Amino acid sequence: MKKALGILLILVLALMPATGLWAKDTIKVGVPLAMTGPYTDTGDNYWKGIKMAIDEINTAGGLLGKQLEPIRFDTQEFAPERVMQGADYLCGQIGVDSVHAGWAGWGQDVRAYGKYTAPFFADDGSQSAVDVFKQNKEEYKNIFQLTDTGINQAQSMFNVLMALPYEYPNKKAVIITADDAWGTEVGDTLEKNFKEKGWDVAMHELVPYGTNQWGPLLTKIRRIKPAIIHVEIVSAQEVITFFRQFMKRPTNSILSYGYSLVPREVVETMGKEADGLLGEVPTAMPTPEAPTPEAQAWLEKFETIWGHLPQAGSWAAYSGVKAWATAVEAVGDEKNHDAVSDYIATNGYKGETGWWKWDEDHVMRAGGDVPIAHYQVQDGVMVAIFTDPPTKPYKDYQFQVPRWIKQ
């Protein structure tokens, strides 16, 4: 054991200088994502999209004739100083010409990367990030959000829940969210909406990550017998254990999982068991059938490369790279960061499903060609049944009343 560890250590030390060597004449692209810790998996989703875009550009001859070179940085758990370190490393030290992050820290990232000029694409989905942006739009003009805020996403979830072709037996709702920024933002918005529509939010619970004994909460739920249960914990373990324990003695409730339906394990682990669950993905590529032929082609390409359908964030991150590359082509100089940012802000980018337009807060607002897709698990596959806004059914896909609801 000791020996093995020693060998490992030596190997690592020997490898270290190698990572410091970069080929000349490339355009460096910063990729700060979680590579360790609890967010590794989401980091992976983004990376797959980013890598696909970079490879595509490189095989097509590069950008302005230069190859793109991703520089990765492990953001770990987005501790504030870690996020800052990432910005200082990628922009300050390496001098990358664009940064493609995913979930990057709810506003900390805006600060950290706003100091620099390289266009920065994040998938924060957070009102607080937008609030930080608004404090100094000029300084932060290189910041672009690839998805809409949690508030708007939650609004959209509510719209779809109300639009379902289904008659609720009562007007009682239960909301369970993780005690993180995303969870609370969604939970609070939903509660507000429910109350405005005259619903009774009989229970609104914050739970810590790692909760997987739902007995006490389910006991309460079984007494309440709500028409809707919304669970918003972006971690498969929690939502699967909740579902399984719920299913032991289900109530007549629609189960809405919001964004927490998307960690790949949820559907992959449960398969058809998950049939009936609802969820949403912002900046989404609806599946299994894409809205346009180009999008369908993209979907198929992604599946060939990675062996599975794209997860939340993959397409958004991919599009971020492509949007930046388009802007660089137009400006003709990757080093002219301000011009690139201005180009993106004013012209947007035409992607597989249509036009991407950032609003004045540099947020990719849901709607138009890039709506939020709402899914239901049907036959073990996530099927887009609605898009929003505006709220409308997606293609011919139908909402199915979950099997546990006895009418």
Partner 1 sequence: MVIEITDVIISGLINGSVYALMAVGLTLIYGVSKAFNFAYGSFYSLGGYIAFLLFGLSFINNYFLVFVLAVPILLVFGFFVEKTLVAPLRKRDDWEIKVMMITLGLALFLDNSFQVIFGSRMKSLPPFLEGGFEAGDFYLSHQDVGIFFLSIGGILLFRWFLNNTRTGMSVRAVAQNPAGAQIVGIPKEFVFAATFAISTVMVGMGGILLAQKYFITPMGGWDILVKAWVITAFGGMGSIRGGLYAAFIVGMLEAFVGWYFGMTWTLIVLFAVLLTTLAVRPQGLLGKWG
Partner 2 sequence: MDHKRITFLLALIWTIVAVLPLFFGGTNFIMHILIMCLIWSVVASCWDLIMGFAGIFSFGQVAFFVMGAYASAIISAQFSIPPIFAVFVAGGITAAIGILVGLPCLKLKGAYIALVTFAVHMILEPVLKGDIGRAMGTGGSRGLLTIEPMHIFGYTFTTASPVPYFYLMLLVAVLCSVIILVVIKSHWGTAFLALKDSQEFATCLGVSAFKYKLRVFALTSFLTGMMGGFYAHYVGMLSTRMLGIDLFVTLMVILVIGGVGKFPGAIIGAFITIAVNELLSPLGPYRPITMGAMVVILVLVLPDGIVGLFERLFSKKQHGMTH
Q: Which residues bind partner 1 (CB under 8 A)?
A: 1-2, 5, 36-38, 40-41, 44, 179, 205-208, 210-213, 215-220, 222-223, 236-237, 240-241, 244, 248-249, 264-265, 269
Asked if residue 206 binds partner 2 (CB under 8 A), the reply is yes
Binder to partner 2 among 26, 62, 115, 163 (CB under 8 A)? 115
Question: If phi over 0 gives left and psi between -120 and 50 gives alpha, with beta otherwise, what is residue 295?
Answer: alpha
Q: Which does 89 bind (CB under 5 to 8 A by kind): partner 1, partner 2, none?
A: partner 2
The reply on whether position 304 binds partner 2 by CB under 8 A is no
Within 8 A by CB and 6+ apart from 113, the residues are: 87, 91, 99, 120, 142, 143
What residue type is 119 in one-letter code? P
If contact means CB under 5 to 8 A according to the sort of partner, which of partner 2, partner 1, none does residue 279 touch? none
Output 35 or 162, the one with its CB closest to partner 1. Answer: 35
Max intra-chain CA distance, the chain: 67
Contact 79, 40 (CB under 8 A): no
User: Is 223 or 403 the residue whose CB approaches partner 1 more closely?
Assistant: 223
The site partner of 72 among partner 1, partner 2, none (C-beta below 5 to 8 Å per kind) is partner 2
Q: How far apart are CA 189 and CA 148, in angstroms?
A: 14
Applying CB under 8 A, the site for partner 2 has a residue count of 47
Q: Is 15 in the site for partner 2 (CB under 8 A)?
A: yes
Of 70, 28, 25, the C-alpha closest to 49 is 70
Query: Between residue 173 and residue 192, which ones bind partner 2 under the rule CB under 8 A?
Result: 179-181, 183-185
d(CA 372, CA 283) in angstroms, rounded, equals 6
Q: Residue ranges of the alpha helices (H) in 307-402?
A: 314-331, 337-347
Closer to partner 2 by Cβ: residue 152 or 376: 152
Residue 16 binds to partner 2 (criterion: CB under 8 A): yes
Verify cis geometry, omega within 30 degrees of 0, for the bond prior to 250: no
Q: If we measure between CA atoms, which residue out of 264, 271, 193, 267 comes closest to residue 230?
A: 193
Structure tokens at 31: 């990729």
Interface pick for partner 2 out of 26, 69, 89, 296 (rule CB under 8 A): 89
Measured over the CA atoms of residue 299, residue 334, residue 339 and residue 118, the dihedral's sign is positive
Residues that bind partner 2 (CB under 8 A): 2, 5-6, 8-9, 12, 15-16, 19, 35-37, 40, 72-74, 76-81, 83-85, 88-89, 92-93, 105-108, 111, 115, 128, 131-132, 135, 179-181, 183-185, 206, 208
